[in-house]
Amino acid sequence: MDQPVQYIKGVGPKKAALFEKLGVKSIRDLLFHFPMRYEDRSQVMKIAQVEVGQLVTLIAHVRSSAAKPRGRRGGGVFEAAFADDTGFLRATWFNVSGKAMEARFKPDTEWIVSGRVEINRYSGAKTIYHPDTEKYDGDGSLGAMGRITPVYPATEGLTQKSIRAATLAAMDHAQTLEDFVPEAMNKRYRLPLLADAVRQVHWPAAGVGMDDLELARTREQKKLIFNEFFLAQSGLALKRKGRSPQRSGAAMDAGPELIGKIKALFPFALTRAQDRALAQIAGDMSDGKRPMIRLLQGDVGCGKTVIALAAALIATRNKKQAAIMAPTEILAAQTHRKISAFLKDTNVGVALLTSASKDRSKTLDQIRDGSAHIVLGTHALIQEGVEFADLGVAVIDEQHRFGVAQRAELMRKGDSPHTLIMTATPIPRTLAMTLYGDLDVSTIDELPPGRTPVHTRMYNKASRAQALAMVRDQAREGGQAYIVYPLVEESEKLELKAAKVMFDHLKEADLAGLKLGLVHGKLKSSEKEKVMAGFVSGQLDVLVSTTVIEVGVDVPNASVMMIEHAERFGLSQLHQLRGRVGRGTRESHCLLMADTFPGSPAWDRLKVMEKTNDGFAIAEADLAIRGSGDFFGQRQSGFPEFRIGQILRDHKILAEARKAAFDLVEKDPQLSRPEHAPLLRAIFKWWNERFSLGSVG
Ligand code: ADP
Ligand code: MG
């Protein structure tokens, strides 16, 4: 099974090298190189029946053939007329050696011919261009042809025909595949044997419906999808279980009285969704069974920071410290300001640690001696030399900006502290299950009252002037505007230049008379702070920003968000940007600038933004359009990609596999029973190929 694919008949060193490009090294890999779609060649037809546009399979003999020396495309052209007892059909090949073709398609030899029927533009004759052909040996056996035929992911130089021949030859080996799904579970979920499933998914038996195959609804497809999800979920279940025995997480007091006192610090009542999230967090922090590892997700502005503060206060009231790590200095400083304001009448010590901190050594001392109760900061928090007296809870804001390693670093600053991970990129449930399957998830799906909905509209070159007029009008009425310019990472320098040129142009021409500020990633942090402060205080009318990161600010007076090249952003990113306006009482607008036109994919995609303000609906659409691999853009590396399972299409199987995996690990927490040995082995292999087991979550 683990032998190189070269052991398969017909696969030599050259083909083996090409297979390797597809990720197929061993025979096992080949068995798991599944078709991406199928063609129905099961109906063998008579030539008289065929119609233009049809995909047909025929049994016919060569009536005549002719090699033409030079076709329009330069290479040789070969034409053959195939016949059966009902008529003739032409076949044409371009770019072939006439000699070789003549030797192959000798008159009267019998063939199985398959392909799509087209009309020759010159002669009007029904023709199949580049048909798949196989010698017919007359015994009625149709080999790889007269059946539902797989179409595989291929690569240059490796034809469908070679891949099909290889998988067909490999089918004998399927029998020896070891199934890591325990037999009892296979029975319970009425799943077929693994070997049968593999064989059927490559080469479906006669009578299987094409519709079922295309939608992955056959029993055999389900089995393979289940296996894939089950393996990933078992890994997550095991990992989660593995945390509990050795690390029990401090049991803190988080009773109703304490929670009531904490809530009294806020000048508003929590929303129902916030209350629910806080209750879940309080439960985690007080149960003493294992450290909290909870993902808190919700739209920008839904009030996550407030909940993070509540979690921090649970810790401080239990004589422990809290750390809140944000991805940028601006965000860390802003959170620091907000939290300090909430706590101004208390004696909770709040400190800010960033690489720009002035009194760094003093702050480090306070963190070390425990007089800094709540510490806000950036990556600076996880650097060496930062020592906490007793870290009780670690909060990570905008988690997708941090790598898993950085998250782990922060957790290591304490003795298995409770951990709260926050994200404003709502993650569809299905995706959360695969990505964060070992985390508990709280969702805030409600905005605080009094928000004004944001009007969203698309603009193009022709209507650009209208958009800029909107910016001017809003500024005249006392509002403020963001203009965001996307930076593409590879060409940051060029893009930055373009942004600066645009900034100057706006200042001189379109927005002359308004006060504009520019922030970008290359600016020194002191300068950045200065510009930001100007915008926050209302001195600046317009903030031009080159990156998403810099606009993570809360300015209730801002009423316009104009996004240049909106088509370059993911929908979830756009939604996050839009969340920066509509935070105060002003009616707010989101202007999406994009050179698209009705009917183009980019247009349709951006239209979603006009239609809904619901972050989860947008995330679902984003996921459906871009696929899970791209959902977070390039930042999210190591996302588990599946070979056959698709989390959106197969979400029911995912839920089933998840339950099966978690139930199993509940009963056998170490997977130490002999019947679970294959599963344990497979988990380690699977996770090691994707990320190291120790660092997930
Ligand atoms: P997030 O971190 O989810 O983007 P924040 O916690 O920063 O959201 O909250 C956004 C704004 O809403 C802040 O000014 C905050 O003080 C305010 N806020 C939070 N919760 C409530 C609430 N329940 N009622 C009214 N205002 C709230
Ligand atoms: Mg926040």
- The residue ranges of every structural domain in the chain are 1-42+160-175, 43-146, 178-247+660-697, 289-444, 454-612
Rounded to an integer, what distance in angstroms lies between the CA atom of residue 203 and that of residue 212? 14
Q: How far apart are the first and last CA of the chain?
A: 32
Q: What is the pLDDT of residues 328-338, one digit of tens each?
A: 888 898 899 99
Task: Report the percentage of the chain scoring pLDDT > 70.
Answer: 89
**How much distance in Å is there from the Cα of 693 to the middle of ligand 2?**
30
Q: Give residue-wise pLDDT tens across range 69-85.
A: 665 556 788 999 999 99
The stretch 17-32 carries a mean pLDDT of 93
CA of 269, closest atom in ligand 1: 23
Secondary structure, 3-state, 130-165: CCEEEECCCCCCCCCCCCEEEECCCECCECHHHHHH
Task: Tell me the average pLDDT of the chain.
Answer: 86
Atom from ligand 1 closest to the CA of residue 450 = 25
pLDDT confidence tier of residue 549, bands split at 50, 70 and 90? low
Residue range 266-290: average pLDDT? Answer: 94
Distance CA(123)–CA(365), nearest Å, equals 89
The mean-pLDDT minimum among 19-33, 271-285, 422-436, 450-464 falls in 422-436
Residues 91, 128: contact at Cβ < 8 Å? yes
Strands (E), 34-109: 37-40, 44-45, 55-68, 77-84, 87-94
**Between residues 407 and 49, the one the model is more confident about:** 49
Whether 334 is in the pocket of ligand 1, judged by its Cβ within 6 Å, is no
Section 303-308 average pLDDT: 95
**384 vs 197: CA distance, rounded Å:** 52
CA of 305 from ligand 1 middle (Å) equals 7
* Ligand 1 atom having least distance to the Cα of 306: 6
Over residues 216-226, mean pLDDT: 95
Q: Any idea which of 36-40, 69-73, 344-348 has the lowest mean pLDDT? A: 69-73
Check if 554 has its Cβ closer than 6 Å to any atom of ligand 1.
yes
3-state SS of 570-623?
CHHHHHHHHCCCCCCCCCEEEEEECCCCCCCHHHHHHHHHHHCCCHHHHHHHHH
pLDDT at 245: 43
556 lines ligand 1 (CB under 6 A): no
Q: Whose CA is nearest to atom 27 of ligand 1?
A: 448
- pLDDT at position 633: 43
Ligand nearest to the CA of 297: 1
**pLDDT band with cut points at 50, 70 and 90 for residue 637:** very low
Closest residue to atom 18 of ligand 1, CA basis: 303
363 lines ligand 1 (CB under 6 A): no
For ligand 2, the distance from its centroid to the CA atom of residue 139, given in whole angstroms, is 72
- Which of 268, 296, 306, 557 best tests ligand 1's pocket when mutated (most atoms within 8 Å of CB)? 306
Which DSSP helix (H) or strand (E) runs through 640? none
Give domain 43-146's CATH architecture.
Beta Barrel (2.40)
Please give the distance, rounded to the nearest whole angstrom, from the Cα atom of residue 442 to the centre of ligand 2. 15
Distance 423 CA to ligand 2 centre (A): 8
How high is the pLDDT of residue 401?
67
Mean pLDDT throughout 476-487?
91
Query: Is domain 454-612 in CATH 3.40.50.620, yes or no?
Result: no
Q: How far apart are CA 174 and CA 202, in angstroms?
A: 11
Tens digit of each residue's pLDDT (9 = 90 or more) over 114-144: 899 999 888 888 999 999 888 887 666 666 6
Q: Give the number of the ligand closest to the Cα of residue 305.
A: 1
Q: Give the pLDDT of residue 563.
A: 95
Instruction: Give the per-residue pLDDT at 79.
Output: 93
Top pLDDT among 545 and 630 is at 545
pLDDT score at 327 = 85
Answer yes or no: is the C-beta of 309 below 6 A from any ligand 1 atom.
no
> Which residue's CA is the closest to the ligand 1 atom numbered 23?
270
pLDDT at 26 over 90: yes
Q: Return phi, psi of residue 538, to 5°.
A: 90, 5
Q: Which atom of ligand 1 is nearest to the CA of 397?
A: 2
pTM of the entire predicted model: 0.63
Question: Does the pLDDT of residue 243 top 80, yes or no?
Answer: no
> Ligand 1 mean position to 100 CA, how many Å?
75
* Residue 274 CB–ligand 1 contact under 6 Å: yes
Cα separation, 279 vs 256, in Å, equals 9
Cβ of 573 below 6 Å from ligand 1: no
Range in 175-179, 524-528, 665-669 with the lowest mean pLDDT? 524-528
**Ligand 1 atom index nearest CA of 270:** 23
Judge whether residue 248 has pLDDT over 70.
no
Residue 583 alpha carbon, nearest atom of ligand 1: 11
**Rounded-to-integer distance, Cα 615 and Cα 472, Å:** 29
| CATH architecture assigned to 1-42+160-175 | Orthogonal Bundle (1.10)
Give the pLDDT score at 692: 43
Please classify residue 5 by burial: count the beta carbons closer than 10 Å to its beta carbon, then call 0-12 exposed, 13-18 middle and 19+ buried. Answer: buried
Is residue 300 in contact with ligand 1, taking CB distance under 6 Å? Answer: yes
Is pLDDT above 90 for 667?
A: yes
Q: Fold match between 289-444 and 454-612?
A: yes
pLDDT value at residue 404: 65
Q: What is the mean pLDDT of residues 209-214?
A: 89
pLDDT at 350: 97
Q: Which of 342-351, 404-413, 575-584 has the highest mean pLDDT?
A: 342-351
Q: Given this model, what pLDDT does residue 583 score?
A: 83
Domain 289-444 - what CATH class?
alpha beta
Which-ligand-closest: CA of 303? 1
Q: Read off the pLDDT band of 202 (50, 70, 90).
A: very high
393 has which bridge partners?
322, 418
Give the pLDDT confidence of 373-427 residue by residue, as tens digits: 999 999 899 988 999 999 999 999 876 667 667 777 888 888 889 999 998 777 7
Contact 301 CB / ligand 1 (< 6 Å): yes
Among residues 400, 574, 401, 398, which one has the least CA distance to residue 482?
Answer: 574
Comparing 219-223, 534-538, 545-549, which segment has the lowest mean pLDDT?
545-549
Q: What is the pLDDT of residue 695?
A: 38
The better pLDDT of the pair 104, 626 is held by: 104
Ligand 1 center to residue 574 CA distance, Å?
A: 20
- With 60 as the cut, is the pLDDT of residue 572 above it? yes
pLDDT of residue 627: 61
